[in-house]
Amino acid sequence: KYCCVMSAQVSVDVAVQFLAEYYDIKASFVELLPSYDDQNFLITGVQGGSNVHEKWVMKISCRGDSEGEIDLENKAMEHIETKAREIRSRLDEDLCSRNVVVRTPCPVKSKDCKFITRMDAKRLGYASNEIAKEMVGFKFLMVRLVTYIEGEVMAKSHQTQELLVDLGRKLGMMDRFFFDFKHKHAKRDIKWDLMNAEREIKKNLSFVQSLENGAYKTP
């Protein structure tokens, strides 16, 4: 079994040691990122014999996904990047510099050429607390590293008409990219799937507090 603990479980020290051992990365700065399911760290450091500082995101799976489902996400990123690279190769330098083509993080291989590595649960060092009780019977966490894309999250950006049009264009581009994408784990039942929107809204609507009388009613 792999470990599925919804609380924070990996310390910065453990993350840094793991990166050095499995990715040959010497981290100079580590920041815990906001996340919904995974535990994510923004890593700044150097890899191998390089003197160039780079950034990555270390993702530690905590949600109970299978290795196949994580592979699905990795393959999807690689698929987008391959398609985008094909388009960029046909564009002039000016268009490429304006980021008219979708950009995506890409999975990074470990020293033993794996995109998904396993972190032994014994590394976490929990003894008798509540998290340790949750981990009984679990042996490891699944870890991966992806490249980092500089930028500002949309929620903090001034949402101009130009930005919204660009968002729509890139969503359409990604939709076309996935026309020929296949993976055996692609069909999974998750509540964030838009196909499940009606089901999930009906199931959870009772938790919404009405701001105005009669504003929200369960269908």
Model confidence at 9, pLDDT cuts 50, 70, 90, reads confident
User: Over the stretch 10-65, which tens digit does the pLDDT of each residue have?
Assistant: 888 989 999 999 999 999 999 999 887 788 999 999 999 888 999 999 999 865 56
When mean pLDDT is compared across 36-40, 154-158, 177-181, the lowest value belongs to 36-40
Spatial distance between the Cα atoms of 141 and 64, rounded to a whole number of angstroms: 10
Distance of CA 179 to the CA centre of its chain: 22
Spatial distance between the Cα atoms of 17 and 62, rounded to a whole number of angstroms: 19
User: Over the stretch 66-80, which tens digit does the pLDDT of each residue have?
Assistant: 788 899 999 999 999
Q: Are residues 85 and 61 in contact, defined by beta-carbon separation less than 8 angstroms? A: no
Over residues 87-109, the mean pLDDT reads 79
Cβ count within 10 A of residue 207: 7
Share of the chain above pLDDT 90, in %: 44
The pLDDT value recorded for residue 78 is 97
Spatial distance between the Cα atoms of 60 and 112, rounded to a whole number of angstroms: 18
Share of the chain above pLDDT 70, in %: 78
Spatial distance between the Cα atoms of 31 and 39, rounded to a whole number of angstroms: 11
Question: Please, where are the H alpha helices in 50-160?
Answer: 67-88, 93-97, 130-134
The residue whose two tokens read 């993976």 is 183
The pLDDT value recorded for residue 215 is 54
Q: With residue 103 as reference, give the H or E element that holds it.
A: none
pLDDT reading at 213 higher than 60: no
Q: What is the pTM of this model?
A: 0.79
The pLDDT value recorded for residue 64 is 59
Over residues 132-154, the mean pLDDT reads 77
Q: Residue 108 corresponds to which tokens in the numbers above?
A: 């990074």
CA-to-CA separations, 21 to 14, 153, 176, 208, in angstroms, rounded: 11, 31, 39, 47
Higher pLDDT pick, 143 / 3: 143
pLDDT reading at 146 higher than 50: yes
- Domain ranges in the chain are 12-194
CATH class given for the domain over 12-194: alpha beta
Beta strands (DSSP E) in 34-125 are: 39-47, 54-61, 107-108, 117-120
User: Over the stretch 188-202, which tens digit does the pLDDT of each residue have?
Assistant: 788 878 888 999 988
pLDDT reading at 211 higher than 70: no
Cβ count within 10 A of residue 46: 15
- Burial 96-116, CB ≥16 within 10 A → b, else e: eeeeebbebbbbbebeeeebb
Backbone phi, then psi, for 40, in 5-degree steps?
-120, 135
Spatial distance between the Cα atoms of 185 and 73, rounded to a whole number of angstroms: 9
The pLDDT value recorded for residue 130 is 47
